Amino acid sequence: MESPVEIVQHTAGGVIGVSWLMIAFPLLGAAILLILGRKTDRWGHLLGVAMSLASFVVAVLAFVELLGLSAEQRRQAVHLYEFIPGMADMGLLIDPLSISFALLITGVGSLIHIYSIGYMSHDPDRRRFFSYLNLFVAAMLLLVLADNYVGLFIGWEGVGLASYLLIGFWQFKPSAAVAAKKAFVVNRVGDFGLLVGMFIMWSATGTFAFAELSEKAGSLSQPMVTAIGLLLLLGACGKSAQLPLQSWLLDAMEGPTPVSALIHAATMVTAGVYLVVRSGAFFFPEGSAQALAVAIVGAATLLAGAIIGCAKDDIKKGLAGSTMSQIGYMMLGAGLGPAGYAFAIGHLITHGFFKADMFLGAGSVMHGMNDEVDMRKYGALRKYMPITFVTFIIGYLAIIGFPLLSGYFTKDGIIETAVEHNQVLGWLAVIGAGITGFYMSRMIFMTFFGEKRWAEDAHPHESPTVMTVPLIVLSIGSIFLGGYLILSNRLMLWLAPAVGRPEELPTFHFASTPGLATLALVAVGAVYAWMKYGRAEVPAVQPRGSFLTTFARRDLYGDALNESLFMRPGQWLTRIAVFFDNRGIDGVVNGLAAGIGGTSGRLRRIQTGFARTYALSILIGAALLTGALLLVGNI
């Protein structure tokens, strides 16, 4: 799609000129903490927070500067240096889209940094934790700020690495190590798609830069564009845990809770959405095969995630399921073209707030309950950790789309646009909203209401201020942000220079059919949850559920599927290959040697030691010689 506004090479100095500082600060922090190592244990976490805040400040300033420019000026490319001569340059693209992400990443990121000071206070490796967090922030910023796919890919893998390191932060737990590896490998499947997509771009256009690509994309043949789109979608699926590459996200909860909040809820997992929106040129026109694919993947995942969310007793896994589902909404939105982009990004931002809010809340709960994650061992906690309770409730209301809270606006936006574009997907999204209502309410009731079901040694208490403050800030965001962004299309207009905009701006109706339907379903879900978990007694051990329940508990058999489709055959293939290499190829080589040796061993027996035998051989030789000569002579 022709991006409406040309990218202008940034000339004037100002903050945008030094916007690379955004990346540099946390990178520097990570480097210092990793290189100096234990020496920094005492103040390491503070440095981490400082660096993250610093880059937040830069982001804000750049944002302000960008606001100062006219809409036509709001795509500033900052050239850093020549990366691969003739192929790709290192450069940043500061435009509404990227800066919005930068704000989210650094803002929420900083809050989570602060929160972690408290959360990780007892961990001997807190310094290492912060170095990884900083590394993540830097990589994530490179991902969203880069002005070409190579730069984006570096960031893309950088966040993958950070996620790998943080999921496996408690690597002495085998489960954590495995989860980390799984996350990385599954992501690599997506990267494969992204890579091949880039091959095609290069061979077709000879560039990786967003600017040139969006110009040349129009001139490419339709099949080629479709191919690129689908391959990019594969990449997005990997990063954003969309079907069919969703399986890693639930295991990723092995990581410390702040990680789940920052990486696996607020920012990294949404990179897929960013990729799709940023690559709008290859998902154009809306309704094209690849765009439709995006929407379908989104719809499918939002249902799958929701269903999984219903069956989890592990509070973090429950939240992870809902994350999947919410990102499904964003994907759905992103699949609808410019009309949906604004809502997708909007939901992405608000989700960043309320999901982070709830994860941190969950973390705060675990903090109080000796890292217990099983909701069946919770209950009645509202009295013991009020702040956590309130903030969590706000997040909850936001996510189920309680009117006038953030989630309400953004999610509704997506649903309505979806219904306009594609009835089926739209109504599926509505259903998904209903399920969301159920499983989130279930979580609330099991955690904060009902009877105590604690372990003996549990002494729940409110978390320290350093943890509660971020909760409060986030919950405030969860309340107001959505309305601010969506009403009067602020976000859409703001993003327009970057991602374009539909011809006529949508107007938000508070009483649209899908909207009301959504509210109704959510209410139903919530009530059902209350009857099942609020009013009724929650069994301390998981009861054998119906087929559907088991189906959900097993993550829709995603792992089983991967295992039987890829892991097992892969292991067999490996064994066969190794055997073939040792016995087959090497066997031939050694066999050859042995063969020559054997021949030699047999031949030397001819040397009998009897002089007369030798004489005979001479005579025979003479005969042969004569015969040969006669033969050759007669030829």
Cβ burial of 597 (10 Å; 0-12, 13-18, 19+) is exposed
Report if residue 150 touches another protein, rule: CB under 8 A.
yes
Site for another protein in 206-235 (CB under 8 A): 206
Q: Judged by CB under 8 A, which stretch of 164-172, 220-228, 240-248, 259-267 contacts another protein?
A: 164-172
Q: Which residues contact 97 (CB under 8 A, 6 or more apart)?
A: 144, 274, 277, 278, 345, 495, 498, 499
Interacting span for another protein (CB under 8 A) from 253-261, 386-394, 549-557, 591-599: 591-599
- Contact pick of 18, 21, 178, 292 for another protein (by CB under 8 A): 178
Q: Phi/psi class of residue 542: alpha, beta or left (left: φ > 0; alpha: ψ in -120 to 50)?
A: beta
Q: Which is nearer to another protein, 9 or 465 (CB)?
A: 9
Q: Choose between 7 and 146: whose C-beta lies nearer to another protein.
A: 146
Beta bridge partners of 82: 89
The dihedral built from the CA positions of residue 431, 432, 437 and 442, taken in this order, carries a sign that is positive
Question: Please, what is the minimum distance in Å from the beta carbon of residue 165 to another protein?
Answer: 9
> Between 121 and 617, whose beta carbon lies closer to another protein?
617
Q: Is 551 exposed, middle or buried (0-12, 13-18, 19+ CB in 10 A)?
A: middle
Q: Which stretch binds another protein (CB under 8 A): 1-9, 191-199, 377-385, 438-446?
A: 191-199
Q: Which stretch binds another protein (CB under 8 A): 109-117, 510-518, 550-558, 600-608?
A: 600-608
Task: Rank residues 511 and 635 by Cβ distance to another protein and give the closer one.
Answer: 635
| Distance between CA atoms of residues 25 and 35, nearest Å | 15
Bridge partners (DSSP) listed for residue 84? 88
Q: How many CB atoms lie within 10 A of CB 301?
A: 28
Minimal distance, residue 562 CB to another protein, in Å: 13
Rounded to an integer, what distance in angstroms lies between the CA atom of residue 620 and that of residue 626? Answer: 10
**By C-beta, is 513 or 574 nearer to another protein?**
574
Q: Chain centroid to CA 77: how far?
A: 26
d(CA 460, CA 454): 9
Whether the CB-CB separation of 136 and 112 falls below 8 Å is answered with: no
Task: Pick out residues in 6-45 that bind another protein (CB under 8 A).
Answer: 34, 37
Closer residue to another protein in complex, CB, 118/193:
193
- Of 334-342, 352-360, 503-511, 578-586, the window that binds another protein (rule: CB under 8 A) is 578-586
Question: What is the closest distance, in whole angstroms, from the C-beta atom of residue 372 to another protein in the complex?
Answer: 22
Considering only residues 80-139, where is the footprint of another protein by CB under 8 A? 81-87, 90
Give 181 or 376: the residue with its C-beta nearer to another protein: 181
Distance from C-alpha of 258 to C-alpha of 256, rounded to nearest angstrom? 6
- Smallest gap, in angstroms, from Cβ of residue 615 to another protein? 5
Pick out residues in 44-73 that bind another protein (CB under 8 A): none
From candidates 191, 357, 372, 416, binder to another protein by CB under 8 A:
191
Q: Give the chain's length.
A: 635
Take residue 330 and report the two structure tokens written for it. Answer: 């964003």
Q: In the complex with another protein, which residue's Cβ is closer, 45 or 182? A: 182
Residue number with CB closer to another protein (81 or 547): 81
